[in-house]
Amino acid sequence: MSLRALLVAALMALAAPAFADPAIGKRVDAVFADDTVTLTEAGKTVLVYRAKPLDPATEPGRAHYVGALYAPDGTALVEDRPGDHPHQRGVWWAWMKVQTDGRTAADGWYMKGLSYFVRQKRFLGDAEGGGTLTVDVDWMVNSGPELAYVATETTKITLRPLKAGARRVEFDTTITARVDALGLGGSEDDRGFGGFSIRLVDPEHLTFASGGKTIVPNGGAIQAGPSMGFAWSGGDASPAWTIGLACKANDQAITRWMLYTDRSMQNCVFPGRAPLVLKKGQALHLQETLVIRPQSKTAAAKKQP
């Protein structure tokens, strides 16, 4: 064989793996836009993170959340800005009481007096085919005559590759106080809801289970296990999927839940009505895991009319 032929053969051998690897194109990837980041798998949208508000003039605080989340078959699982509760946002983190030095300065739940500025967003794939979106966020209170920089946040959203038909999404958030005393507290009632929340579609047909037991919403915060299962029982019109959710705060499992079977959100309640106070430089670490699985054939059969 000539020297030229040997060189051509060597170059083809080096190039071959790039075209032969069946995993290429099936990995988790990210599509960046100015106001959103879309995480995909095998080219299909899995979730959409909103980095900037659609209407900064009227809703400057409507940013830094997951506005769309899809099951592996493309079924939409969450709602953003539903007509019954326009402040609800798909998958989001918010507290009614955002306090500085003991006084409530903003309401992140209803997006009053608080804006999120996403300073940086980046994506890194991993060897297993998943990937992590990392965002650095500045919390700015705008209720006073001047903007007040009250906290910095880093949130990581990790999407694991599809496995046995199931999808796993992990959230990891660190919020660090930049004021002498940053308070985060829930609603000013016995429910005390606040923190990580998810607005699932078709909530009227949701069923709940924790620790192998059926959970029935009662209008108040419910003490249950460290994870909650959500499933739909509304016939063909409901998603044929189940969702498992587990939440932690500072490495401790959250076991209080705010659950609804009418048109509202679902929430792992933290810290409750009384605010958690962070001293300047002190951090709060939150972790949440969502697992999306197809409903069992038995459950699917029960849904038939």
How would residue 19 be classed by pLDDT, with cut points 50, 70 and 90?
very low
pLDDT (0 to 100) of residue 304: 43
Domain that residue 167 falls in: 95-303
C-alpha 42/C-alpha 24 separation (Å) is: 9
| Main-chain dihedrals φ then ψ at residue 15, nearest 5 degrees | -80, -25
11: in domain: no
Q: What is the pLDDT of residue 270?
A: 98
In tens, the pLDDT along 198-242 reads 999 999 999 999 999 999 999 999 999 999 999 999 878 899 999
**Token code pair at residue 199:** 């607005």
Q: Could you tell me the strand order of the sheet in which 195-198 lies?
A: 28-32, 36-41, 44-50, 65-69, 91-94, 195-198, 266-268, 256-258, 222-223
pLDDT band at residue 299 using 50, 70 and 90 as cut-offs: low
Q: SS3 of 248, please?
A: strand
Count of domains for the chain = 1
Q: Residues 87-99: pLDDT tens digits?
A: 999 999 999 999 9
242 found inside a domain: yes
Q: Which residue from 34, 46, 185, 176 is spatially nearest to 103, judged by alpha carbons?
A: 185
Count Cβ atoms within 10 A of the Cβ of residue 269 and give its class: 0-12 exposed, 13-18 middle, 19 or more buried.
Answer: buried
pLDDT digits (tens, 9 = 90+) for 271-280: 999 999 999 9
DSSP H or E run through 30: strand 28-32
* pLDDT score recorded for residue 145: 87
Tracing tokens 């946040």 back to the chain, one arrives at 153
pTM of this structure: 0.89
Note whether residue 265 is domain-resident. yes
Q: What is the pLDDT of residues 24-38, one digit of tens each?
A: 468 999 999 999 999
